[in-house]
Amino acid sequence: MADMSPLFRRRPPQDRLVTLIRKPGCHLCDDAQVVVEKVCGDLGVPWEQKDITEDRELHDQYWEQIPVVLVDGVQHTFWRVNEDRLRKALTD
Q: Of the candidates 49, 90, 91, which has an alpha carbon nearest to the alpha carbon of residue 71?
A: 90
Average pLDDT across the chain, whole number: 91
pLDDT tens, residue by residue, 17-62: 999 999 999 999 999 999 999 999 999 999 999 999 999 999 999 9
Average pLDDT score over residue span 4-19: 74
Tell me the whole-structure pTM to 2 decimals. 0.86
Domain residue limits, the chain: 30-87
